[in-house]
Amino acid sequence: MHNENQSLIFELSKEGRVGYSLPELDVPDFDLSDLLPEGFVRKEAAELPEVAELDIMRHYTALSRRNHGVDSGFYPLGSCTMKYNPKINENVARLSGFANIHPLQDEATVQGAMELLFELQTSLVEITGMDEVTLQPAAGAHGEWTALMMIRAFHEANGEGHRNKVIVPDSAHGTNPASATVAGFETITVKSNEDGLVDLDDLRRVVGEDTAALMLTNPNTLGLFEENILEMAEIIHGVGGKVYYDGANLNAVMSKARPGDMGFDCVHLNLHKTFTGPHGGGGPGSGPVGVKADLIPFLPKPVLVKKEDGSFHFDYNRPQSIGRVKPYYGNFGINVRAYTYIRTMGPEGLKAVTEYAVLNANYMMRRLEPFFDLPYNRHCKHEFVLSGRRQKKLGVRTLDIAKRLLDFGYHPPTIYFPLNVEEGMMIEPTETESKETLDAFIDAMIQIANETEENPSIVQEAPHTTVISRLDETRAARTPILRYTKMEG
């Protein structure tokens, strides 16, 4: 990485420089005061930077060199499925017929785009075992909320609007309880048992006639398959609730088990995880939702349908719909990439994806097991969670281990999550990594474990090779500086 003081773009600004080339004004010019009333024209210009084109490129190139992506190196960030982002996807999404079409064009002029969306929907119906899929939610959390709103509408339509509780395991992603709150539900937490799975007795204890839904990730955030899934679904269905599948971990079960066959009533997928939409530094995502037949009437508007004549149409005539969750039809560009990926892999490919994702995780888990605590010792799925409690006793925290990994050129695992593991490290290698890459990372982890015993300060003081050292986060939060302000004088 690039090690020098990095200017802000505003600090490169110099009055009189331009970085743009606007069309020539070929209509008669007007004085703005003739077109806009007094007070409508801003008095102070927005202080955007004035920089010439090459210097803009150098600035952002320098920034990119201070950033680690999947193409830069291994990125085993648990629960985020940081697999390779295929380049053909980028080319397809940039085809003019996809990138340069307006969402409000006459349907007859965008049939190709609608066909692609319909094909993607159809593929996801098969992959999830659901009856219908909407592509509208913009990201996983948005999909969670969309599905919960549908569950709420379902209960209300059945005269059961009193169902206001959503049950969430203690190992759940933070978005689960937050989505439940935003959809107007109260969250009840159900405990995990000593095997890291949902405690069925506790589940039986918390369900009741006010249960709206159970939200579950399977495999769960420990990377373990909830073996009692059918029994759990029975408990929830028995009291009239719905079972929701958080598809964040779908990479672990493709072609092995489908949410629809496991008793789930609805599911959201993260196309930016399993289906290679690039993560973009934090987004955009795409979070389609699949549902079983009895939830179909509540799908958000519009619903994409294929008409008898073979043409595609957005259907707005859905009287029981929860309404619109997003302007237009979802993050189309990400959906194009996901479809391209599915067509690149095909049925055999998707099966192999899951098999290698799980093989890789188990291999890493077994090789690291002698050096770190493994709280749940059984086959994992696509990821596993180690505990750094052994190292903590020696004064090295999981945060230190993560920072030390930076010195080896790796993005660390997800740390301190799930919440039910002390000093947790959640490792997800994905299927696109070679054995050599896995071995090199394992060697680094073993070295860090040894350093912890022999020379802990090298770990505690890490990172040593990055462009900056550990940042003062307390200061950032106490005296927030959220924008650049030009120094006077």
Q: Which is nearer to other proteins, 248 or 449 (CB)?
A: 248
Q: Which is nearer to other proteins, 25 or 487 (CB)?
A: 25
374 CB contacts (<8 Å, ≥6 apart)? 365, 368, 384, 386, 387
Shortest reach from residue 48's CB to other proteins, in Å:
5
Shortest reach from residue 208's CB to other proteins, in Å:
18
Q: Which is nearer to other proteins, 116 or 203 (CB)?
A: 116
Q: Which long-range contacts (CB under 8 A, 24 or more apart) does 449-458 make?
A: 449/371, 449/372, 449/391, 451/404, 452/391, 452/394, 452/396, 452/401, 453/394, 456/394, 456/395, 456/396, 458/404
Q: Which is nearer to other proteins, 378 or 392 (CB)?
A: 378
* Contact predicate 181/187, CB 8 Å: yes
Shortest reach from residue 329's CB to other proteins, in Å:
5
C-alpha–C-alpha distance, residues 489 and 483, integer Å: 19
Shortest reach from residue 159's CB to other proteins, in Å:
18
User: In 3D, which of 329, 277, 286, 333 has the Cα closest to residue 94?
Assistant: 333
User: In 3D, which of 264, 313, 329 has the Cα closest to residue 291?
Assistant: 264
Q: Which is nearer to other proteins, 363 or 389 (CB)?
A: 363
Q: Which is nearer to other proteins, 94 or 393 (CB)?
A: 94
Shortest reach from residue 230's CB to other proteins, in Å:
6
Separation in Å, CA 485 to CA 60, 78, 113, 131, 398: 20, 37, 44, 53, 36
Shortest reach from residue 401's CB to other proteins, in Å:
12
Separation in Å, CA 358 to CA 99, 172, 428: 35, 20, 9
Other CB atoms within a 10 A radius of the CB of residue 293 amount to 10
Q: Which is nearer to other proteins, 92 or 291 (CB)?
A: 92
Shortest reach from residue 375's CB to other proteins, in Å:
16
